[in-house]
């Protein structure tokens, strides 16, 4: 993995915490990488406020998870964990990364979430994509605005706009999540809040199975887009109606 300024990403996933991406769109990143697309992850915080583990633990685990996902670039900013805010300095900091990587697609968390950092990340990420295209905002790189922004909606009570088939990648997706042993291995700290390790596979596979069934595949990840979709040929729409 690299943080080279010369790396360019086709797909950039932005999330509040290390391990968010693995849960919500890890299979999609795997599928993208398998198709030859360049993928990247930007985590906004170091994870210092987590109930379990340390920021240093999370950094090592994030490196391992990124390797499993086939991600070519990963970086964590230092926004305060548990107190992410949508401010102009934060928008510019993220815009600097967007200009560096020049992604065509940005994946953000859905804008309604239990954790405030996740909800703020959705609006902060969108606003940063806008700022990244403004000529008069100086970051040392040329303006760039992603063509498409989509929202990973796995934990949202909302009908997806589309599903990505992650069936061939479901095992690797699970491995990337379990790279975070400081978070998901059985331990006393946070035992009342975290799912027991032996149940994680069952729950995550069940979620993926549910969304896969909606689209006629075995395992899937859901996404929402705000724009209306465009179809060129009605005979090529892939999901069967009856």
16-64 pLDDT, tens digit each: 999 999 999 999 999 999 999 999 999 999 988 777 778 899 999 999 9
pLDDT in tens, 124-177: 999 999 999 999 999 999 999 999 999 999 999 999 999 999 999 999 999 999
Angle at alpha carbon of residue 143, lines to 141 and 147, rounded to 5° = 130
Token output for 39? 């993928």
What is the spatial distance between Cα 166 and Cα 179, in angstroms, rounded to a whole number?
19
pLDDT of residue 189: 62
Report whether pLDDT(11) > 70.
Answer: yes
For each of the domains in the chain, give its residue range(s) and CATH number, in order of start. Answer: 11-226 (3.40.50.10320)
Residue 2 has pLDDT above 60, yes or no: no
Distance of CA 149 to the CA centre of its chain: 12
Confidence label for 185 from pLDDT (cuts 50, 70 and 90): confident
User: Mean pLDDT over all residues of the chain?
Assistant: 93
Residue 217 CB neighbours (<10 A) = 18
Q: What is the pTM of this model?
A: 0.94
């Amino acid at each position: 993995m690299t943080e080279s300024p010369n790396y360019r990403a086709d797909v950039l996933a932005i999330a509040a915490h290390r391990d968010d991406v693995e849960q919500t769109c890890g299979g999609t990143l795997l599928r993208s990488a398998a198709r030859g697309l360049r993928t990247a992850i930007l985590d906004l915080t170091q994870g210092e406020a987590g109930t379990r583990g340390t920021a240093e633990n999370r950094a090592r685990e994030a490196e391992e998870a990124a390797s499993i996902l086939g991600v070519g670039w990963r970086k964590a900013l230092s926004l305060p964990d548990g107190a992410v805010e949508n401010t102009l300095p934060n928008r510019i900091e993220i815009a600097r990364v967007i200009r560096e990587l020049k992604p065509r697609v940005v994946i953000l968390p859905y804008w309604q979430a239990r954790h405030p950092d996740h909800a703020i990340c959705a609006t902060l990420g969108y606003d940063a994509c806008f700022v990244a295209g403004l000529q008069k905002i100086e970051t040392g790189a040329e303006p760039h605005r992603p063509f498409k922004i989509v929202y990973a909606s796995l934990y949202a009570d909302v009908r997806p706009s589309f599903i990505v088939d992650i069936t061939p990648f479901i095992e690797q997706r699970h491995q990337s999540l379990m790279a975070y042993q400081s978070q998901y291995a059985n331990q006393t700290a946070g035992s009342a809040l975290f799912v027991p390790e032996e149940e994680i596979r069952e729950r995550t596979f069940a979620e993926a199975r549910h969304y896969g069934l909606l689209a006629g595949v075995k395992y899937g990840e859901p996404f929402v887009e705000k724009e209306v979709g465009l179809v060129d040929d009605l005979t090529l729409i892939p999901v069967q109606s009856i």
